[in-house]
Structure 1
C-alpha cells in the first residue's frame, strides 16, 4: 500500500510512533505538482547578488570580531557577557556562509571563497575545504539518509542519550580542530598512514561516524592544500603565542569559549534541521523534503539560530543552487501558488522548541 505525499505528511505525526513514521516515509511518492511548481516559479531566483553577499558577510564578521574584542578587554562582567552573546551570534552568521561557498557558482561572486577563508574560515578553524566536497553528498538523490550520507544520522530512531552527546561533543570542537591543524596535519606529511586517517576521518564537517572521505582531485585538491596549510600555520602561531605569553591566556580562553559556543549553536540548529526519521533507505525527493524542516516567518528567532537561509532548509533541499537571499521569495511564491493539500505546506514548523520536543519524544519512546 502506498500513500500520496499529502496523505503521508498529514499522518506523519508524533502520535503514530517514529518506527511507523519511518516506514511511511519510505513509501512517499514524489509530489510531481509540487516539484513542477518549484522548477517553474523559481527560475529567476538562481543568481547570487554579490552586493548582498559581501555586505552581509563582512558586516557580520566585523560585528563578531568587534564584540569579541570587547568581551576580552571589557571590565564589567555584564558588558563582557553581552559582548560575548553578540559575538557568538554574529560570528555564527558569518560562519554560515560556508554553506553558500559550497553551493555557489564562484564566478557569480568573484573572490568570495578566498574572502570567506581569510576572514572566517581560517581564523575560526573551519576552512571551506572541510565542507566543500562533503555537503554536496548530503544532497545526492541516492545518498540522502543512508550510511553514505556524511550529514545524516537517524537520531529519531536512536537512544535518548545520543541527543545530549550529539550536542556536548561540539563543545570540544575548537580544541579538536586546533589539534588537527597544529599537530596531526604537519605530522601526516611524513607519516602516510596518518595522512590517510586525517583525510578520511578528520577533514570534513560531518556527523556520520561511518563516513570516510576520499582524497580530493584537481582544483578541489589545490584549494584543500592551500587552505589546510594556512590553517595549520595559523593554529601553530596561535598556540605558540599562548605558550610564549604573547597572547594572554585569558584572551585565548575567551576566544575558545566563544568559538565553542558558535559550534554548540550550530549543532543545536543541526539537531532540528531534519526530522531524522529515515532508517537508511533511499528516499524520493519529496520524502527527503518532508524529512527536512522549514521555519518560515512570522517567527523572528529562527533568523538568529538558523541564519543565512537555513530557516528554509527543506526548501533548500529542493533548490540547492538558489542563493540564501532568494529563498524567502521562493517560499512566498510556492506557499501562495500550491494548493492547501500540497506536501509543500507540511514541511513548515513554528520553531526550535517544538522540533526539539518532537525529536526528544521520539528517542524516549524508542529507548523505552
Structure 2
C-alpha cells in the first residue's frame, strides 16, 4: 500500500533526487506518470454521498435564487440573487464534465437525474459534451485540428481574446434557437438536421470541428435528450405569451453570466501554445493549468475539481472530490514534484496576462494563419 509522508516537503523546494523534466513535446516524464498512477490507486471510486447532494443542492439553490431574482421588485436584491443563481447553476452545470468521465456503471441514475434537473433546463444535455471531450483527452488528438476544445489562443492576435469572451454572451440565445427552432425544423429538412448535429451539438471552441454521427448504442438516448431539450426550448419561447418577457429575460441574463464565467475559465484552462502537433501526456499536462490552494477564489470560477485541470489531464478518471488529495500527494513526491509543480499558477489574472502577452509577442507567427484563426472565433457556435 502506498503511503505519503506525514509532514510533506515544501512543494516548491527542488528535490535532491528528482531530475527535472527537459523532454520535448513527444516525450514523457515517466517518473511523474508512474507516481500519478501509484499514489492515487485508492482514490478512484466516485462517492455518491458527495456527488448527489453537491449536484442537487447546487441546482436547487440556483433555481431558487433565480426564481427570487425574477419576482423581486428590488434592483439590489435582484442583482444579489442573480449572482447567487449564476454561481450555483454554474457549479451544477459543470457536473457535465464529471458525467463524461464517470464509468457507465458508477452512480446509477446520476446521469439521468443531472439531465432532467440541469442539462435539459439549461439546454445543455450531456450529449453535448460526451464524445467530444473524449477526443480532447486523446494523446494523438489533443491540441490538434481534430480537438473540439482547443484553439492556439496564445498564438493568435490580441483582439481575439476579448472576442472569445464576448461571443459567449450570446450562447443562451443560440441554444434557444438551436433547440427551439433548428431542432423542430430538422424534422422537416434532413440536411438541416445533419448540419445541426455536426456543427451545433458539441460544446466546442474549435469552429472547424465537425461531429460524427453518434454510435448506434447512444443514438436512442441522444434523441431522447434532444427531444426533451427541444420541447423545453419551445416552452421557453412560448412563455412570453402568457407570463411576459421578464422571467425569460432574467433567466437568459443569468445563463449568459454562467456562459461568460465558463468561457473565462476555459480561457485559462490551458496555455494554448500548441500549433497542432500531437503531444505526449507530460506535454499536455504542462500546457494545462492547476490553480491549487491556498487561494479560495478559484473554487468559485473553477468548481467541481476544475482548479486541478492539469492534474485531471494526468488522471482523467479520478473523481473530482479526490483531486485535492491527489494533488497533495504528488506535490510532496520527490521524484514527481519537479515536473508536477510546473503546471501551478496563482490565479485567473496572471494567466490571462500571460496569454495576452503571448498574443502580443507571437514570434514567427504567420499573419495569414492568424487571420483565419481569428475570423473563425466569430463563427464559433
- Map 1:221-240; keep pairs closer than 5 Å: 221-240=219-238
Q: Which residue does 2:129 correspond to in 1?
A: 131
Q: Is the aligned partner of 1:289 residue 2:285?
A: yes
Q: Which residue does 1:100 correspond to in 2?
A: 98
Give structure 2 stretches of 5+ with no counterpart.
1-17, 368-381
Equivalents in 1 of 2:94, 2:293: separation in Å? 19
Q: Which residue does 1:35 correspond to in 2?
A: 33
Q: Which residue does 2:64 correspond to in 1?
A: 66
Equivalents in 1 of 2:216, 2:42: separation in Å? 32
For the Cα contact (< 8 Å) 1:106–1:112, is it kept in 2? no
1:339: Cα distance to partner? 4.1
SS of 1:45's equivalent? coil
Equivalents in 1 of 2:293, 2:227: separation in Å? 42
CA 1:341–1:43: 2 relative to 1, 3 Å: closer
1:219: Cα distance to partner? 2.7
> What TM-score, normalized to structure 1?
0.91
Q: Which residue does 2:208 correspond to in 1?
A: 210
Equivalents in 1 of 2:336, 2:219: separation in Å? 47
Q: Which residue does 1:169 correspond to in 2?
A: 167
Q: Is the aligned partner of 1:253 residue 2:226?
A: no
Q: Which residue does 1:190 correspond to in 2?
A: 188
Equivalents in 2 of 1:222, 1:300: separation in Å? 41
Q: Which residue does 1:6 correspond to in 2?
A: 20
- Which of the numbers 333, 351, 358 marks the counterpart of 1:337? 333
Equivalents in 2 of 1:216, 1:26: separation in Å? 36
For the Cα contact (< 8 Å) 2:330–2:337, is it kept in 1? no
SS of 1:189's equivalent? helix
Equivalents in 2 of 1:126, 1:26: separation in Å? 38
Q: Which residue does 1:122 correspond to in 2?
A: 120
Give structure 1 stretches of 5+ with no counterpart.
9-24
> What TM-score, normalized to structure 2?
0.88
Equivalents in 2 of 1:158, 1:98: separation in Å? 29
1:77: Cα distance to partner? 1.3
* CA-based RMSD: 1.6
SS of 1:205's equivalent? coil
Q: Is the aligned partner of 1:111 residue 2:109?
A: yes
Q: Which residue does 1:365 correspond to in 2?
A: 361
CA 1:27–1:129: 2 relative to 1, 3 Å: closer
For the Cα contact (< 8 Å) 1:64–1:86, is it kept in 2? yes
Q: Deviations over 1:283-318 (max 9, x none)?
A: 111000000000000010000000000000000001
SS of 1:308's equivalent? coil
1:7: Cα distance to partner? 5.3
CA 1:215–1:128: 2 relative to 1, 3 Å: same
Q: Which residue does 2:47 correspond to in 1?
A: 49
Q: Looking at secondary structure, tell me which structure has more helix per residue.
A: 1
Equivalents in 2 of 1:27, 1:125: separation in Å? 38
Q: Is the aligned partner of 1:314 residue 2:310?
A: yes
Q: Which residue does 2:79 correspond to in 1?
A: 81
Q: Is the aligned partner of 1:350 residue 2:364?
A: no
1:186: Cα distance to partner? 1.2
Equivalents in 2 of 1:139, 1:340: separation in Å? 21
1:29: Cα distance to partner? 2.1
Q: Which residue does 1:278 correspond to in 2?
A: 274
Q: Which residue does 1:200 correspond to in 2?
A: 198
For the Cα contact (< 8 Å) 2:27–2:280, is it kept in 1? yes
1:220: Cα distance to partner? 1.7
CA 1:35–1:172: 2 relative to 1, 3 Å: same
1:206: Cα distance to partner? 0.2
1:337: Cα distance to partner? 1.3
1:27: Cα distance to partner? 3.7
